[in-house]
Structure formats: C-alpha cells, structure tokens
C-alpha cells in the first residue's frame, strides 16, 4: 500500500499544531530572557508549557482519528519563506503525531520528575529553559513538512543536547562530553546537509510531498547516494556505528536529560529520518542494505559495551545504542519494518525513560554515586523505584506479554524473514540484552549492601515516583496495544505505506522461542555471576574481551588514531607553513623594503651643495643623452 | 662673430656652477647663482642678435624679473638663517629644520 496524498488543512487542533512548537519555545524564551526574576516559578512554567504542548498533540491526534485513514495526512501552510522555492509548513500525519505524542507525553513526565530531581540545583530555571527548548526543537524536527525545517529542528535538538550535557559545565568531564557530542554530531550533520543538497539538486524542491512522491523517478545511483548521506546524518544523531562514541560520554548530563534526550526522543531522530525518507531508501537497495548492517553492528556493539560497564548510566546508554540499532535495522528493511521500528521506538521511549529515571532515583538516593559496584540490596529501601525499574527491565529483555516482547520480537521476526544472518545476529543481541540488563538489576537491587559509609538511601519523593509509575504502565501495556492486530501498522500505513500482506503475530514461533531461551540463559548467567555470587567492590582485572568492552570497543582510540592525530599533524603542518612560509614571505618583503630604504635614505644628506651636484650631473647626463640621440 | 660671446657665456656659467658647488657661504652661493643666470642672459641676447629677432631679449627680461624676485626671497631667508644661527654656511642647515 502506497502512502496517502497530503491534504491541505486548516482549523481545529491540527490547524493550531504550530502551538505545540510555539508553547515550549515561549517557555524557553521567557525563562532565558527573564533571568533570575523567573527563578521562583521557572520549573512550573516549564512543566506547564510541556503539558500544554501535550494537550495540543492529544487534541490533534483525536481530530486526526476522526478522518478516514486515507485522509490522515494533513499539511498546514505556515509561511512562504522564499516564494516559489521554500514554503515552511507542518505535516501532521500518523507518523509525526506518534512522535509528537511520545515527545510531549514522556517529555512532560520528565519535566515533572525534574522538579524533584533538580530541586537543589541553583540553576534549575535554566535547566527547564533548555528542556523546553529541546521539546520545541524536537517537535519542529518531526512536524516539519520539508527537509530545511527538519534540519533546523535537527540542529536545535543538537544545541539543546549540547547545552544539557554540559549543564554542569564546572565539571571538566561534562564540558568535554558536551563538546564531543557536538563535534561528533557535526560529522553526521555534514552528511545530512550534503544529502539535502543532493535532494535539492535532484528534485529542485525540498518539500516531503514533492521529493518522496517523485523518488521513483530519480536514478537508483542518485537515490543510493542520498540514502547513504542521510544515513550518515542518522548515524550521528542516533549514535550508530561509526559515530557512536558521543552517547556514552553524554551521560555526564543530568539524568532526566539522559532519559529524555539520550534515550527516549532525540537519539531516535535518525530512525525518524530513515522512516520519513522511506521512498528514497526503497529505491536504493544498497543504501537499505547498509542501513540494516549499521543497525545490526550497532545493536551488537551497544549490547557488548553494556555488558562491561559498572556505571549504571553508561550501561543503560550502551543498551540505548543497542535498542536504536534494532530500530535502524527494522527501518532498513522497508515498509514491513517501519511500523515495528516506530512501535519499538515508542515502547523503548517508555521503558528506557522509565529505567533512566529509575537510575536517577537511585543516584538521588545514593549521593549521586553511579558505580553499580557500590549499590546492592536497594530493593527493600526503594520499593517503588525497584518495582518500576523491574517492569522496565522485563520489558526491555522481552519478557512475554510486556512491551518489548511484542515490538522487539516483531523486529527480529521481520529481520529473520528479510535475511537470516541479520535475524540470527538480532537474536544474539537479544540474548546479550538479557545478560547485561539482568546484571544491572542484580548489581543494583539484589545481593549484599556495598554502599559507601556516607550513603543513606531512601525512596524518592512523589514528584519523582509518579512519573516512574506512569511510564512503567506504558512499559507493560503499550507493546501489546500497538502490535496486536497490526493496530499500529494499519494506523501508520497512510504515512509510510504498508506491505501487501500484513504480518501476523505468532506467539510461539521458532525464532521467538529461541530468543526467549537465549534471554533466559543470559539472565541466568547474570544471576550466577552477579546475583548469587559476591560482587567485588573494585572491578577485577579482566580478560582481553572484557577490557575491549569496558573501553567501548576502542571506539575512542580508533577515532583518535584515525582522525584526531592526523588532524593534529595537519594543523601543525598548517601552522608551520603559516609561520615559516606565509609569515616569512610577508616579513621578508617588509624587511627588504625597510633595509633598502634605510640605505637609500643616506643619499638624502641635507647638504644643499650635494643636491646641486646631482642636479648638475643629471642635467649633464640629459644634455649628453640628447646630444647622442639627436645626432643619431 | 657671436662665438666669443657664447664662449664667455659658457665660461661665466661654469664659474657660477663651480661656485655653487664648492662655496659654503650662502651669500657667495647666491651670487654664483646670479652669475649663472646672467651667463644665460648673455647667451639669450647673443642668440637674439644672431637670429635677428627679439625673442631672446624678451626671455632675458623675464629672467631678470624672476632673478629680482628670487633675490628678495633668497636674501630674506639668508638673513633669517644668519640671525638664528649666527652663520651663513649652507652646510649648517643640512637638517632642513630649526
């Protein structure tokens, strides 16, 4: 089934969809420009704007459901930026509204949670301003109806991410991490920009409706080039190999930021880009193949990194990488995979935000300790955090009937039908997920107390636990709701297309059983190593493989050897050339002129008689010359 | 027949030129300049006579007028220099200031 036509729309909640972006933007502007005067109510304003944005999104969704499925792509014209060339408008369709609901709903919950989490931070107002800025930029990214506005949102979320990773910029590690995230993202943005240029050169327009509608008319070589360039952009934003290195360091930011930006929403923008540009990828088999390979490589790399991290947030970040790898894998498969990619994205948004906020709650209780080797036995002192985290954990490992079971299993089944190698690698990834997530839960909530003497853990306040409870409800039921009966695939079909034959859900397929068995083995292995056995307080010396994983698969070392050092040599060469070459030329010229004029100056003695002599001699020479020439 | 006049003119001019180059006293240098001017005048008048027209004589008058004006300004400068420096040597004013 092909995507539906876009219908121009005005009026109702959808007509006011721009409010979704404008409200948080106004919040950010008021909080940033208002300065300390807004300190007292800053967090409340931030929450209010996020919730208001969610209300607009929910009303738009309700209005959208009122239309027939074929009429659910509504375009809203906002502004004719360059007449005839660049119109800026919004596109409200099943795909973008799914993102809007996720962003504003999870975003609102995380805003509320942050009231408690950031309660003692003197810069809480600034934090909420940045969060609002992020929500506005992310909504612009998903609501844009052309690649330029998408790029503006894309950069906006990058900026917000930078500001929030470096929120505690007095810590050198946070400042460095923020810079790293920004620079690695620049590499991806470079690819995206060139991709957009290529799109414009090929189609002479950047509106989704014109580009994607005419994608089949371009040559497959052009489409492959565009697809690969867009993939570079997606890799940067979504921390896929080979641009994954910034995500682990990004955990320096406050935990709500990790939950909202680096787990639930921003890092999934790459998946959105691929799914939105689906017709381009569908016309370029090579690009799709590369997308699936990147997805599988990242889902394994992220899972392997997750197994070795002792820092609870970094282990979760490895898991985020891995789960986004699943989404990218599904997005590379085509229309069959799109719905699973987005469904997994949404359920992942819930259970991963739930777990990150849970980790934040644990850190809050443990004096901001992040080393899991100093946790242990927290299930009794933090019952709400424990139960909600456990639900998120069961959801992510694909425990039957919870969210992850439906969405991740859907991806694995689809991948298996598409290509058996990719499918089995995805199954293997699921097994590793079972191990590292169980390890995380056992080290944190089970076993013996390994707390620092100063730690007095306690349950977090209600303003932090309620978001956890709501998110964990999503983690339980959302997967079944979306996947059973192909509900989400049918809903999404007008926006991204759908396969001729809807896939059916088999509860006891071979792949599903093997996956479950592997997950169970992983979890059991984690129990033997970290649940039953004593966990040493200091990480023991480990084998080559473990070190490999602890060092993020040497991703940083690779970047350093391949790009940083040659780059430094290049700059040193340039500096040398500048100092010796360019400066030498300029300085030499100046010195030459100075020296010559210093010598010439001596001719000017000031003695009138010597001037007179030179006049006479000159006159004599002239007269002589005239005589000679005249006589010729 | 006019050759003698021209030779005299050349001699006077050469004497004046050497005087300008070798003498230090501003007054003497000045007089030597006048000598050169008058050598030129003599040549002009000689050529006027030789060519049988008045062009040379006319130019000689112009030269005299310019020389008179020059004397006025030149002497004034020399007197001023002498008043400030108590010397009329042209080498003393080599700095072109004070």
Q: Facing residues of A82 across strands?
A: A86
Q: Are A324 and A247 in contact (CB under 8 A)?
A: no
What per-residue confidence (pLDDT) applies to A1?
63
Q: What is the mean pLDDT of chain A?
A: 87
Q: Facing residues of A77 across strands?
A: A89
Q: How confident is the model at residue A602 (pLDDT cuts 50, 70, 90)?
A: confident
- For residue A87, give the H/E element and its range: strand A86-92
Residue B98: pLDDT above 70?
no
On whether the pTM is more than 0.95, the answer is no
Indicate the residue of A607, A612, A616 with minimum beta-carbon distance to B91: A607
Instruction: Check A606 against B95: CB less than 8 A apart.
Output: yes
Question: From edge to edge, which strands make up the β-sheet containing A7-8?
Answer: A7-8, A74-82, A86-92
Mean pLDDT of the region A536-562: 78
Q: How is residue A137 written in tokens? A: 């930029």
Best A601, A607, A608, A614 member to test B by mutation, with max B CBs in 10 Å, is A608
Mean pLDDT of the region A429-458: 85
Instruction: Check B90 against A607: CB less than 8 A apart.
Output: yes
Q: DSSP alpha helices (H): ranges in A419-461?
A: 420-445
Q: DSSP alpha helices (H): ranges in A366-461?
A: 383-397, 403-418, 420-445
Instruction: Check B20 against A605: CB less than 8 A apart.
Output: no
Question: Which tops the pLDDT comparison, A23 or A401?
Answer: A23
Closest CA to A363 of A374, A350, A351, A348: A374
Chain A, 590-609: which have a CB under 8 Å from a chain B CB? 605-609
Instruction: Check B91 against A609: CB less than 8 A apart.
Output: yes
Mean pLDDT of the region A513-536: 83
Mean pLDDT of the region A3-22: 82
What per-residue confidence (pLDDT) applies to A84?
65
Question: Which tops the pLDDT comparison, A449 or A1?
Answer: A449
Domain ranges of chain A: 150-559, 561-630
Mean pLDDT of the region A507-526: 84
How far apart CA A392 and CA A354 sit, in angstroms, is 6
Q: How far off is chain A from B32, nearest CA to CA, in Å?
A: 12
What per-residue confidence (pLDDT) applies to B97?
67
Q: Other CB atoms closer than 10 Å to residue A264's CB: what's the count?
A: 30
Closest CA to A90 of A153, A157, A149, A155: A149
Q: How confident is the model at residue A311 (pLDDT cuts 50, 70, 90)?
A: confident
Mean pLDDT of the region A500-518: 78
Mean pLDDT of the region A31-55: 88
Cα–Cα distance list, A101 to A62, A92, A95, A293, A495 (Å): 11, 12, 10, 30, 16
Residue A632: pLDDT above 70?
no
Indicate the residue of B21, B29, B94 with minimum beta-carbon distance to A606: B94
ipTM of this predicted structure: 0.84
Mean pLDDT of the region A60-78: 85
Instruction: Check B96 against A606: CB less than 8 A apart.
Output: yes
Render pLDDT for A452-490 as a digit per residue (tens, 0 to 9).
Answer: 888 788 888 888 889 889 888 888 888 888 888 788 888
Residue A504: pLDDT above 80?
no
For domain B1-87, the CATH architecture is: Orthogonal Bundle (1.10)
Q: How confident is the model at residue A545 (pLDDT cuts 50, 70, 90)?
A: confident
What per-residue confidence (pLDDT) applies to B9?
94
Q: Which residues, at least 6 apart from B49, have a Cβ–Cβ distance to it below 8 Å? A: B2, B56
Q: How far off is chain A from B58, nearest CA to CA, in Å?
A: 24
What per-residue confidence (pLDDT) applies to A135?
93
Side-chain-side CA neighbours of residue A222 (13 Å): 16
Question: What percent of chain A lies above the pLDDT cut of 70?
Answer: 99
Mean pLDDT of the region A22-26: 92
Domain ranges of chain B: 1-87
How far apart CA A304 and CA A308 sit, in angstroms, is 7
Map residue A46 onto helix, strand or coil.
helix
Chain A residues touching residue B25 (CB < 8 angstroms): none
Q: Which residues, at least 6 apart from A557, have a Cβ–Cβ distance to it below 8 Å? A: A551
Q: How confident is the model at residue A64 (pLDDT cuts 50, 70, 90)?
A: confident
Q: How is residue A358 written in tokens? A: 């849970």
Residue B10: pLDDT above 80?
yes
């Amino acid at each position: 089934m092909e995507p539906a036509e876009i219908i121009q729309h005005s009026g109702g909640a959808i007509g006011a969809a721009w409010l979704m972006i404008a409200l948080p933007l106004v919040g950010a502007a008021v909080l940033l420009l208002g300065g300390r005067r807004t300190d007292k109510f800053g967090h409340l304003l931030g929450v209010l704007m996020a919730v208001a944005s969610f209300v607009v999104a929910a009303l738009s969704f309700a209005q959208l459901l009122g239309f027939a499925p074929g009429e659910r792509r509504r375009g809203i014209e906002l502004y004719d930026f360059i007449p005839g060339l660049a119109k800026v408008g919004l596109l409200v369709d099943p795909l973008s509204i799914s993102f809007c609901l996720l962003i504003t709903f999870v975003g609102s919950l995380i805003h509320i949670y942050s009231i408690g989490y950031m309660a003692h931070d003197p810069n809480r107002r600034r934090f909420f301003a940045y969060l609002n800025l992020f929500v506005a930029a992310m909504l612009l990214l998903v609501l844009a109806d052309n690649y330029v506005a998408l790029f503006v949102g894309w950069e906006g979320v990058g900026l917000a991410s930078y500001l929030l990773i470096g929120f505690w910029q007095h810590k050198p590690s946070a400042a460095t991490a923020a810079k790293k995230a920004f620079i690695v993202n620049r590499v991806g943005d470079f690819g995206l920009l060139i991709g957009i240029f290529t799109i414009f050169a090929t189609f002479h327009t950047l509106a989704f409706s014109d580009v994607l509608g005419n994608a089949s008319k371009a040559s497959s070589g052009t489409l492959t080039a565009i697809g690969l360039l867009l993939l570079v952009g997606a890799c940067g934003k979504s921390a896929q190999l080979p641009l994954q290195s910034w995500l682990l360091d990004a955990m320096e930011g406050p935990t709500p930021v990790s939950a909202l930006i680096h787990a639930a929403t921003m890092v999934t923008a790459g998946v959105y880009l691929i799914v939105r540009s689906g017709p381009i990828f569908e016309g370029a088999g090579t690009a799709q193949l590369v997308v699936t390979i990147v997805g599988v490589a990242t889902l394994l790399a992220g899972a392997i990194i997750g197994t070795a991290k002792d820092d609870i947030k970094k282990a979760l970040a490895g898991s985020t990488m891995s789960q986004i790898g699943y989404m990218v894998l599904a997005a590379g498969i085509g229309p069959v995979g799109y719905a699973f990619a987005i469904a997994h994205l949404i359920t992942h948004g819930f259970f991963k935000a739930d777990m990150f906020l849970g980790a934040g709650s644990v850190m809050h209780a443990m004096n901001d300790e992040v080393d899991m080797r100093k946790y242990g036995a927290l299930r009794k002192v933090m019952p709400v955090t424990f139960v909600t985290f456990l639900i998120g954990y069961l959801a992510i490992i694909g425990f039957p009937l919870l969210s992850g079971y439906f969405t991740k299993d859907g991806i694995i089944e689809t991948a298996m039908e598409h290509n058996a190698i990719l499918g089995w690698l995805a199954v293997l990834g699921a097994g590793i997920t079972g191990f590292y997530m169980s390890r995380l839960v056992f080290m944190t909530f089970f076993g013996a107390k390994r707390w620092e003497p100063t730690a007095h853990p306690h349950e977090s306040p209600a303003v932090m636990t309620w978001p956890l409870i709501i998110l964990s409800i999503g983690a339980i039921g959302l997967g079944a709701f979306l996947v059973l009966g192909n509900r989400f695939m049918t809903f999404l079909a007008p926006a991204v297309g759908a396969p001729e034959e809807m896939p059916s859900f088999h509860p006891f397929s071979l792949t599903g059983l093997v996956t479950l068995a592997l997950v169970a083995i992983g979890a059991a292995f984690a129990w033997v190593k970290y649940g039953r056995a004593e966990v040493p307080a200091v990480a023991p010396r480990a084998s080559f493989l473990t070190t490999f994983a602890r060092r993020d698969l040497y991703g940083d070392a690779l970047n350093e050897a391949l790009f940083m050092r040659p780059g430094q040599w290049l700059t040193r060469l340039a500096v040398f050339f500048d100092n010796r070459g360019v400066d030498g030329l300029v300085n030499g010229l100046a010195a030459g002129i100075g020296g010559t004029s210093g010598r010439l100056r001596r001719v000017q003695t000031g003695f009138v008689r010597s001037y007179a002599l030179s006049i006479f001699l000159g006159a004599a020479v002239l007269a002589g010359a005239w005589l000679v020439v005249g006589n010729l | 027949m006019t050759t003698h006049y021209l030779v005299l003119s050349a001699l006077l001019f050469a004497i004046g030129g050497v005087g300008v180059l070798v003498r230090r006293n501003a007054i003497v240098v000045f007089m030597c300049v006048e000598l050169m001017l008058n050598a030129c005048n003599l040549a002009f008048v000689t050529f006027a006579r030789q060519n049988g027209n008045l062009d040379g004589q006319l130019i000689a008058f112009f030269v005299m007028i310019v020389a008179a004006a020059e004397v006025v300004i030149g002497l004034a400068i020399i007197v001023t220099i002498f008043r400030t420096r108590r010397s009329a040597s042209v080498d003393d004013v080599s700095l072109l200031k004070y």
